[in-house]
Amino acid sequence: MTIAAQMRTLAKDAKAASRKLASAEGGVRQQALLNLAGLLEQNAAAVFAANRKDLDAAQKNGLDSAKLDRLTISQGVLDSMVQGCREVAAMSDPVGEIEGMKKRPNGMLVGRMRVPLGVVAMIFESRPNAAVDAAVLCIKSGNAAILRGGSEAFHSIEALTALIHQALETAGLPRGCVQVPPTTDREAVSALLKLDEFIDVVIPRGGEGLIRAVVEQASMPVLKHYKGVCHTFVDESADLARAVVIIHNGKVQRPGTCNALECVLAHQAVAGKLLPQVAKKLGEAGVEFRCCPASLALMEPIAGVKAKAATQADWGCEFLNLTLAVKVVADLDEALEHIAQYGSNHTEAILTENYANALRFTREADASMVAVNASTRLNDGGELGLGAEVGISTTKLHAYGPMGVRELTSAKFVVLGQGQIRQ
């Protein structure tokens, strides 16, 4: 069988399984998730061992530190997968829920019933826990999933998928609900992206190159973000001690992620106080700075700090490592203009004690999450209360921000009439 024929069979099987999953009661789907949580805990050693194989190979192949970080299943990552399973299992079942049933003037009731999308294909690289996050949310929302990870995560995903299949079957659901192509050949991805008769949506997660390739080839809708160029604007009235903590968290806590901070915009009235503290605190954590002339003058003199003049390419750059761009701006207007020009509609934050500026920033900054006095790192399904997420969308259509259970469903109109006709 050719790879294209193999993928067609796999996608067709996923579609058939999706109908069974959609009509299964919520309690059954919930049980599959609780089974998975238990299996992950019981089989942690096997998961770590499989992940170790991938990490050894990756180190041999010279993957950079941000990629290694994303590939690693630490105890913390495993715990958060388990917690994700239980959190999502505990959520109310979205499928079949009817929202806002209202009575029309002609007496008929009109509401919207949540329904699964059908088959969701996930194309991702590096982060093997994305496979579990995706499977969990798809099962909860009644969607079949096709999971295609990067070849560097092959053993990790294989180990995780075996547990997912066991969890499904123990709950009485077909293992076909979650499909993993048995090959790491790139042709498999191209073949899947043409199968819009079976696959309802594709969600790519990874670097901009991967995502652009998926968008170009896909015949079905794509939910995605290209990159996360996240800014934090420190306003004149900001609490500066708190600002240093938030900026440190945004840049240092996990620099390889899309919601990591890439650029600080400092109000000119506080730059003189703020930026030397930022240079010192983040410099100690190994951060290097790309500065505008005004910020360079403030940061370069601090002992041990690596700061140099920013080039044009540093504005709007997704560094994904311990590099931070820094710019002094005249006011909120200039900050919003900079964000409009260089932002990626992903995450933008303002640090301020000024009420009007806080309100204006939330309204005018165009991003999937806008935050006041909080770290950009909080743009995450778990942190925002969705449970696990299958990715972050910056396209506005269907979903804008982290995509959880609700974003994996649609809503159809339900009319309960007593003989109503169109007049």
Contact 210, 70 (CB under 8 A): no
| Contact pattern from residue 254 through residue 273 relative to its own copies, giving x for each residue in contact according to CB under 8 A and a dash for the rest | x-------------------
Can you tell me whether residue 38 is helix, strand or coil?
helix
Contact 293, 309 (CB under 8 A): yes
Q: Pick between residue 242 and residue 308 the one whose CB is nearest to its own copies.
A: 242
d(C-alpha 413, C-alpha 281), whole Å: 54
Q: Pick between residue 223 and residue 270 the one whose CB is nearest to its own copies.
A: 223
Q: Does 76 bind its own copies (CB under 8 A)?
A: no
Among 128, 283, 402, 404, binds its own copies (CB under 8 A): 402
d(C-alpha 127, C-alpha 150), whole Å: 8
Q: Does 60 bind its own copies (CB under 8 A)?
A: no
Q: Does 406 bind its own copies (CB under 8 A)?
A: no
Tokens (6 digits) for 305: 């700090």
Q: Does 330 bind its own copies (CB under 8 A)?
A: no
| Contact pattern from residue 111 through residue 150 relative to its own copies, giving x for each residue in contact according to CB under 8 A and a dash for the rest | -xx-x-xx--------------------------------
Among 81, 369, 390, 403, binds its own copies (CB under 8 A): 369
112 burial (CB, 10 Å; 0-12 / 13-18 / 19+) is: middle
- Least distance CB 68 / its own copies (angstroms): 20
DSSP result, 168-179: HHHTT--GGGEE
Contact 40, 78 (CB under 8 A): yes
Scanning 83-91, 134-142, 294-302, 391-399 for contacts with its own copies by CB under 8 A, the matching segment is: 391-399
Among 5, 101, 245, 309, binds its own copies (CB under 8 A): 245
Number of residues engaging its own copies in binding (CB under 8 A): 64
Scanning 48-56, 124-132, 244-252, 307-315 for contacts with its own copies by CB under 8 A, the matching segment is: 244-252
Q: Does 86 bind its own copies (CB under 8 A)?
A: no
Q: Pick between residue 124 and residue 400 the one whose CB is nearest to its own copies.
A: 400
- Least distance CB 158 / its own copies (angstroms): 30
Q: Which of residues 192-221 bind its own copies (CB under 8 A)?
A: 200-201, 221
The C-alpha angle 377, 76, 394, rounded to 5 degrees, equals 30
User: For residue 78, which phi and psi values (nearest 5 degrees)?
Assistant: -65, -45
Q: Pick between residue 181 and residue 381 the one whose CB is nearest to its own copies.
A: 381
- Least distance CB 249 / its own copies (angstroms): 4
150 burial (CB, 10 Å; 0-12 / 13-18 / 19+) is: buried
Q: Does 417 bind its own copies (CB under 8 A)?
A: yes
Residues with Cβ within 8 Å of 363's Cβ and at least 6 positions away in sequence, in order, are none
Strand 392-393, strand 401-402: pairing: antiparallel
Contact 185, 217 (CB under 8 A): no
Q: Does 379 bind its own copies (CB under 8 A)?
A: yes
Scanning 42-50, 225-233, 237-245, 306-314 for contacts with its own copies by CB under 8 A, the matching segment is: 237-245
Scanning 171-179, 228-236, 270-278, 355-363 for contacts with its own copies by CB under 8 A, the matching segment is: 355-363
- Least distance CB 311 / its own copies (angstroms): 24
100 burial (CB, 10 Å; 0-12 / 13-18 / 19+) is: exposed
- Least distance CB 166 / its own copies (angstroms): 29
Q: Pick between residue 105 and residue 304 the one whose CB is nearest to its own copies.
A: 105
Q: Does 397 bind its own copies (CB under 8 A)?
A: yes
Query: Strands, E, within 240-362: which ranges?
Result: 261-267, 288-291, 306-309, 323-329, 347-351
Residues with Cβ within 8 Å of 173's Cβ and at least 6 positions away in sequence, in order, are 20, 21, 24, 28, 29, 32, 139
Among 144, 173, 368, 389, binds its own copies (CB under 8 A): 368
Q: How far does the chain reach from its first CA to its final CA, in angstroms? A: 56
Can you tell me whether residue 274 is helix, strand or coil?
helix
Q: Does 161 bind its own copies (CB under 8 A)?
A: no
Tokens (6 digits) for 197: 């008769």
Which residues, listed in sequence order, are joined to residue 368 by a DSSP beta bridge? Answer: none
Scanning 34-42, 51-59, 126-134, 243-251 for contacts with its own copies by CB under 8 A, the matching segment is: 243-251
The footprint of its own copies (CB under 8 A) covers 23, 96, 102, 104, 108, 110, 112-113, 115, 117-118, 200-201, 221, 223, 239, 242, 245-246, 249-250, 253-254, 358, 362-364, 366-375, 377-380, 383-385, 395-398, 400-402, 410-422
